[in-house]
A = this chain, B = another copy of it.
């Protein structure tokens, strides 16, 4: 294996390490909300520094590869995709930390019913992150496409939860603060799913050279 290919493998391995950390942050932050576990929420906040450190390491690796190897074509697309994926993963780490903060805020409040959907949305978002990274590492267009499909499912679940929380608030104005924290958790999970979708779109561009970004232009047009 050429030295350059070894370096590319290291870059991929580092991105997988970061992705594993982020997946576990999503899981723990949501369990922090659902199980009212201060310990899990604190773990997420403590691990954020490691995610941030990895982001810097991965950027440095990618920039060195560009500087030293002047790669062409598919390798160049792989490295520029890695820079973008790195950015998205770091944002997901931030979003998990926000969910952990919501968990802490909700710690002493009674559980309210609409929360039951949160673990489903979280499970889906987490599997989207894993699939998007697997698609990147294995240059797997099929897998990347499955992430795009899941994003629509997350949007539908989010809309349903949103309406449920809204009527809950109308009926229980004294519980509005809790409901707003839950709404924030759901929004953050939706944003995590959006970032996973971005990654899947970058993978499709890298593998196929097809630009599927902004595949949902039609949807926006319908809303007009």
Contacts and interface: CB of A to CB of B under 8 A. Distances in A.
How many copies of this chain are found per oligomer? 2
Interface stretch (A5-13, A15-23, A42-50, A115-123): A42-50
Contacts of A104: 223
Interface in A86-117: 87, 97, 101, 104
A150 to B, nearest CB: 19
Interface in A144-161: none
A176 B170 contact: yes
Contact of A223 (B49, B101, B162, B174): B101
B169 A45 contact: no
A151 to B, nearest CB: 13
A66 interface: yes
Interface string A184-224: 00010000000000000000000000010110010010011
Contact of A48 (B76, B80, B220): B220
Contacts of A214: 49, 52
Contacts of A46: 224
Interface range, A side: 35 or more
A224 B42 CA distance: 7
A166 B173 CA distance: 10
A210 B42 CA distance: 29
Interface in A47-100: 48-49, 52, 55-56, 59, 62-63, 66-67, 70, 72-73, 76-77, 80, 83-84, 87, 97
Interface of A: 42, 45-46, 48-49, 52, 55-56, 59, 62-63, 66-67, 70, 72-73, 76-77, 80, 83-84, 87, 97, 101, 104, 162, 166, 169-171, 173-174, 176-177, 180, 183, 187, 211, 213-214, 217, 220, 223-224
10 contacts: A59-B80, A66-B66, A66-B76, A67-B72, A67-B76, A84-B84, A169-B169, A170-B176, A173-B173, A176-B176
* Interchain residue pairs A-B with the least CB separation, the first 3: A70-B70, A52-B214, A173-B173
